Amino acid sequence: MSWQGSISDLMCLAHEVAHAVQLQLSAGSFMPPVARETCAFLGELALIDWARRTQTDLASKLLRVWREENQRYFGDDCALLRAAQADPESAYTYRMNYPLARAAAVVMWRARGDLQRLFKAGSEAIAHLPLSRIADLAGQSQNYLPPLPLPDTDQPAIDAYRALGAMALLDIDFSKGESELRIEDYYATLLNHLQNRTAFVALDEVRRPVGYATWRKAAGDNTVTLTRQAAPFGDHLLLQKALERHLGQESDVHAQHPRSARQEQVAW
C-alpha cells in the first residue's frame, strides 16, 4: 500500500493485516473470497472497537471512513451483484464479494461470535458465515425504524432522549395500554425510568430498536419487577436475551402482565 498517514490508510492497514492473520491461521488452506473479505472487515471493526475504548477522537474519524466506504460497498458493488443476477453471462469481478462480506462482518462482530474459528477455517469458512441471519435481517422489513447512532459519551442527555424517542416509536406500534395515556403522563413515566436507569432499549445487529423494557427494583435485594416489555416486531426473545445481559442473570426477575389473569409471572 502507499502509506500517506491518513485515517483511511490506517483502516486499509487494519484490513490487510487481518488478511495476513487469516492466511497464517488458515495455515495454507485457501479461503473463498467472501469469507476472506469478512475476516478483513472484522479487522477494521476490531480497530474501531479498540479506538472507541482508548482514543475516542480517532474512533470517530475511523467511523467516518467506515461509513464513507459503506457508500461504495453497498452502492456500486451491490449494483454489480444485482446486474450479475439479471445477466448470467456477466463477468465476475472481485468487488462482488464485498457487500455480503461487509454485512457478515457486522453481524458476526455484534454477535460476539467465535471469530478465531472463522479465521482458522480456510476452505471451510463459508459454513461459518451468518448467511441465514443476514437473510433474516434483510427480510425483517416490518421494522422500519432507523438504526440508532453509536452512543456519545460526551453527551449522555442526547442518548437518553434518543432512547425516549425510540421507546415512543416502539409504543406506537405496540399499543397495549401506553398509547391510551395522556402524553404528559407518558413522558413523565418514561423520563422517571430513564433518570432511575430502570429502562432499556434493545437493538438488533444493525442498531435498530427492536423493543424496550421498564422495571422496578426492590430496595435491598436483587428482585426486579418488569413493568413493561414492548417488542412490536416479534423480537420478544431478542429483547429478553438483551435484557438478561443488561440486568445480569443473578437478578430475580418477575414480569407484570396487567391484562392477563395471573397478575405476576416469573420471566426467567
- Is there a contact between 81 and 95 (Cβ–Cβ < 8 Å)? no
Q: Does 47 bind Zn ion (CB under 5 A)?
A: no
CB 14 to Zn ion: min, Å: 11
End-to-end, the C-alpha distance of the chain in Å comes to: 52
- Residues 178-197 within binding reach of Zn ion (CB under 5 A): none
- Residue 119 vs 200, nearer CB to Zn ion: 119
- Residue 37 vs 171, nearer CB to Zn ion: 37
Q: Does 40 bind Zn ion (CB under 5 A)?
A: yes
When CB distances to Zn ion are compared, the closest residue is 40
Local structure of 169: helix, strand or coil: helix
How many binding residues for Zn ion (CB under 5 A)?
A: 2
Give the separation between CA 93 and CA 208, rounded to whole angstroms: 32
Local structure of 29: helix, strand or coil: coil
Give the separation between CA 265 and CA 262, rounded to whole angstroms: 7
- Residues 18-37 within binding reach of Zn ion (CB under 5 A): 37
- Residue 37 vs 77, nearer CB to Zn ion: 37
- Is there a contact between 149 and 203 (Cβ–Cβ < 8 Å)? no
- Residue 76 vs 264, nearer CB to Zn ion: 76
Give the separation between CA 1 and CA 12, rounded to whole angstroms: 8
CB 264 to Zn ion: min, Å: 54
**Strand 223-230 and strand 199-203: pairing?**
unpaired
CB 60 to Zn ion: min, Å: 24
CB 28 to Zn ion: min, Å: 19
CB 16 to Zn ion: min, Å: 7
- Is there a contact between 21 and 43 (Cβ–Cβ < 8 Å)? yes
- List interacting residues with Zn ion (CB under 5 A): 37, 40
